[in-house]
Amino acid sequence: MNADDQRLIAPCLDGDSAAFGELVRRYQDRLYNTVYRLVENPDDALDVIQDAFLNAYQSLDGFKGDSLFFTWLYRIAVNTAISHRRKQRVLLSIDGDRNGASSLQPLDDSAFSRPGEALERAEQEQRIQHALSRLSPEHRAVLILKDMEGQKYEAMADILGVPVGTIRSRLHRARAELRGLLEKEEA
C-alpha cells in the first residue's frame, strides 16, 4: 500500500473526515473519467462518484492493504457505476451542448484551425461512443479499463473481482461485439 495513502487512511479510521477529503481530491479525476464512460452522463457520473466515495468511507475498515488503495477505491466506483448503468432504462448519449452542465473539455485546441480533421475525429468519436454505449455494462467496463485506463489483466481482475480467465473472455467477447456494431454502422 502507498505510504501516503496510509498516512491519510489511519486518521480516517479514527473519525477524521477531513483526511478523507484529501483522498477524494487525490483520486476524483481518475475515477471520474472511467465512471463517466460507464454511465455516459456527467450528472450521473457525479452521483456515482459521490456514492462511491461515501461507500468507501463507510467500509474503510474493510480495506486490508493487500492492494493499492486506488485499486480498492476503483473497484467500488466501477461496481457502483455498473449497478447504476443496469438500472438505467434509457441509453443516454453524450450531449456536449448541455447548458452549463457539461464538463467536457476539448483534447486538442488545434481542432479549430483544422476543421476537416476535427470533424472527422468528432465523427469517429461519435461512432465509437455510440457503439460503446450499446455494449453491456460488463463488456464496456473491460474495454474502458483496458484501452482507456491501460490496466493489465491482473489489475482488472482485482478491480472487477473476477478471475483473470474471465477478464480474458470478456475482453474477447467485448472486442468482437464492438467490431460487429461498428461494421453494422459502417455498412
Partner 1 sequence: MLTDRCRRLLTAYVDGELTARQQEAALRLLHASPEARELLRRMQQDATALRMLPRQRLDRDLSAPIVQLIAERRLQSGWRQRPRLDRQPNFPAWAGFSAAAAALLLVALGSYLYFSAAMEEGPEKKAVAKGETVLPVRPADKPIHDVRREQTALPKNERDGAVPVKPSDPESVPAPEVAQAPNEPGPGKTPDAAIVA
Out of 4, 7, 57, 91, the only residue in the binding site for partner 1 (CB under 8 A) is 57
Q: What b-and-e string marks burial along 53-69, b requiring 16 or more CB atoms within 10 Å of the CB?
A: beebeeeeeebeeeeeb
Q: Does 60 bind partner 1 (CB under 8 A)?
A: yes
* Residue 1: C-alpha distances to residues 4, 7, 153 (Å): 9, 11, 20
Closest alpha carbon to 38 in 178, 132, 150? 132
Angle between helices 69-87 and 3-13 (to 10 degrees): 70
Q: Toward partner 1, which CB reaches closer, 121 or 134?
A: 121
* Residue 72: C-alpha distances to residues 68, 80, 89, 123 (Å): 7, 13, 28, 35
Q: Which residue type, as a one-letter code, is found at position 183?
A: E
Place of cell 454505449: 133
Out of 8, 38, 48, 49, the only residue in the binding site for partner 1 (CB under 8 A) is 49
Could you tell me the smallest distance in angstroms from the CB atom of residue 23 to partner 1?
8
Q: Does 6 bind partner 1 (CB under 8 A)?
A: no
Q: Toward partner 1, which CB reaches closer, 89 or 140?
A: 140
Site string for partner 1, 63-102 (x = CB under 8 A): ----------------------------------------
Site residues, partner 1 (CB under 8 A): 12-15, 17-18, 20-22, 24-25, 28-29, 32-33, 36-37, 42, 45-46, 49-50, 53-54, 57-62, 103-107, 121, 124-125, 127-129, 132, 143-144, 146-148, 152-153, 168, 171-172, 175-176, 178-179, 182
